[in-house]
């Protein structure tokens, strides 16, 4: 189905609406949390998860609550995959997380027809990046592969002269802006402002969540 945003999503069960949908979602979420049955053994204990992963999972459920029912695997594993790739490649996990928010509202099954050749997965990986990350159509819905691919794209742009140019021009988040602009002559300022505002929101929320932990550690 093609929505107003240009996304194509795989067929899913007919959605409930209004209060019935909200009540159903609460019941399912409560059952999942209470049972822990859908989580791998190593992730059953929420306390064992990094705080960053818990923060991302909670934020996804606030922004796109339908996903906990439609694609619980994505809600659970996309934050883990982002965290692991950011740690291994020395990237800011908040930046990767913001891109998934901006590009698809964290929907691992999102596809877009608006980009030439299509764009795929939670980060809307484009066909023009195929020389960098391989064919983005292959298992585009897999959060682990998606995080690998977006990390590869960000690493590529971080090493370009274009990135250094935006740094010299004092862009606050040059890498986020480059994700949409790429090698184009003009920066897409609307996109740049959107992702920059989301980055500020995530940074503030994360700081508020971490403040009690820092005080307790003193």
Domains for the chain: give ranges and CATH numbers: 7-217 (1.10.530)
What average pLDDT does the segment 101-107 reach?
A: 98
Residue 189 CB: number of other CB atoms within 10 A? Answer: 11
Confidence (pLDDT) at 6: 53
Rounded alpha-carbon distances, angstroms, from residue 177 to 87, 95, 196, 197, 204: 21, 11, 8, 12, 20
What average pLDDT does the segment 53-70 reach?
A: 96
Q: Are the beta carbons of 52 and 207 closer than 8 angstroms?
A: no
Phi/psi at 112 (5° precision): -130, 140
What average pLDDT does the segment 94-122 reach?
A: 94
Structure-token pair, residue 152: 């590869």
Rounded alpha-carbon distances, angstroms, from residue 101 to 124, 125, 130, 187, 212: 11, 13, 22, 20, 26
Q: Are the beta carbons of 104 and 123 closer than 8 angstroms?
A: yes
Rounded percentage of the chain residues whose pLDDT exceeds 90:
67
Confidence (pLDDT) at 1: 42
pTM of structure? 0.78
Confidence (pLDDT) at 179: 96
As a whole number, the mean pLDDT across the chain is 83
Confidence (pLDDT) at 113: 81
Question: Over 70: is that where the pLDDT of 4 sits?
Answer: no
Confidence (pLDDT) at 67: 95
Higher pLDDT, 24 or 183: 183
pLDDT band at 46 (very low <50, low <70, confident <90, very high): low
What digits encode the pLDDT tens for the residues 69-92?
999 999 999 999 999 999 999 999
Confidence (pLDDT) at 48: 78
């Amino acid at each position: 189905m093609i929505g107003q945003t240009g996304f194509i999503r795989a067929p899913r069960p007919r959605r409930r609406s209004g209060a019935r949908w909200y009540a159903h979602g609460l019941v399912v979420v409560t059952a999942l949390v209470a049972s822990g049955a859908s989580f791998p053994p190593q992730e059953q204990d929420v306390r064992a998860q990094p705080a960053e992963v818990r923060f991302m999972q909670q934020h996804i459920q606030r922004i796109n609550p339908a996903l906990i029912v439609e694609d619980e695997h994505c809600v659970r594993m996309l934050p883990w995959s982002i965290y692991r790739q950011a740690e291994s490649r020395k990237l800011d996990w908040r930046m990767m997380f913001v891109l998934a928010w901006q590009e698809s509202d964290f929907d691992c099954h999102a596809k877009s027809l608006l980009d030439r050749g299509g764009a795929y997965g939670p980060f809307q990986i484009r066909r023009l990046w195929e020389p960098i990350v391989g064919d983005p159509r292959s298992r585009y819905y897999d959060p682990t592969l998606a995080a690998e691919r977006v990390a590869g794209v960000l690493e590529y742009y971080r090493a370009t002269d274009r990135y250094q140019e935006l740094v010299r021009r004092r862009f606050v988040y040059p890498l986020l802006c480059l994700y949409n602009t790429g090698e184009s002559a003009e920066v897409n300022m609307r996109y740049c402002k959107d992702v920059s505002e989301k980055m500020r929101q995530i940074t503030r929320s994360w700081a508020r969540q971490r403040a009690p932990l820092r005080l307790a550690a003193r």
